[in-house]
Chain A
């Protein structure tokens, strides 16, 4: 099993640019979660999907953030425009009818 796949692993961009993070969940899993991790705030849930439908996006910090899940095997998290305070590690996780989540390796985002 390949596990949760995220790309890119590292992203460095300049303030104002659009950033797109990608996630492929474990095959057969029906829930997908996007988290952001910083030293100050720890691991925060941004949004989660169940059967490709967004269920709770209350953690999305502002309208600059958007997420989509067009099918069961792919999701994107987009930041437009990006700001330095968006610098963090972004994790994608998936699960199958269980609260036990399986995390990807993360994308380290640096906004200059």
Chain B
């Protein structure tokens, strides 16, 4: 069974304090790994897709990386507006639906 585990469940950072969120996965043949951001009261918003180990994607203060067993979402010099829940999802080979982790709730304090 495909599984996604995210850690930590919650993370509190001071503004400017860089850190990383972890997404560990077990999947029968990875087709893609996805990061989403979810603000309170809203639906998840797509951030990145990673397809193969060693791949990296960047967007503003966020950088996502991928290995054969896990992905990291690095947040550099975060700002309060980066506060949100970050969700990781995987898609197994074929055309199977996404399997989501429970997310990491990030709070950035000014």
Q: Tell me whether A61 is interfacial, beta carbon within 8 Å.
A: no
Interface majority SS (helix, strand, loop, mixed), chain B: strand
Q: Tell me whether A42 is interfacial, beta carbon within 8 Å.
A: yes
- Closest CB in chain B relative to A53 CB, distance in Å: 13
Name B97's contact: one of A42, A56, A105 (CB within 8 Å).
A56
Name B43's contact: one of A41, A42, A48, A103 (CB within 8 Å).
A103
Q: Tell me whether B72 is interfacial, beta carbon within 8 Å.
A: no
User: Are A103 and B100 within 8 A (Cβ)?
Assistant: no
Residues of A near B100 (CB, < 8 A) are: 42-44
Interface majority SS (helix, strand, loop, mixed), chain A: strand
User: Are A43 and B44 within 8 A (Cβ)?
Assistant: yes
User: Are A101 and B98 within 8 A (Cβ)?
Assistant: yes
The tally of residues in A whose CB lies under 8 Å from a CB in B reads: 19
Q: Tell me whether A99 is interfacial, beta carbon within 8 Å.
A: yes
User: Are B102 and A42 within 8 A (Cβ)?
Assistant: yes
User: Are A45 and B97 within 8 A (Cβ)?
Assistant: yes
User: Are A106 and B43 within 8 A (Cβ)?
Assistant: yes
Q: Tell me whether B91 is interfacial, beta carbon within 8 Å.
A: yes
A43 nearest CB neighbor, chain B only? B100
Name B34's contact: one of A56, A100, A106 (CB within 8 Å).
A100
Query: Scoring B residues 66 to 94 as 1 if CB is less than 8 Å from chain A, else 0, what string do you get?
Result: 00000000000000000000010001000
A104 nearest CB neighbor, chain B only? B43
Within the assembled complex, what's the spacing in Å between the Cα atoms of A104 and B42? Answer: 8
Name B45's contact: one of A42, A44, A103 (CB within 8 Å).
A103
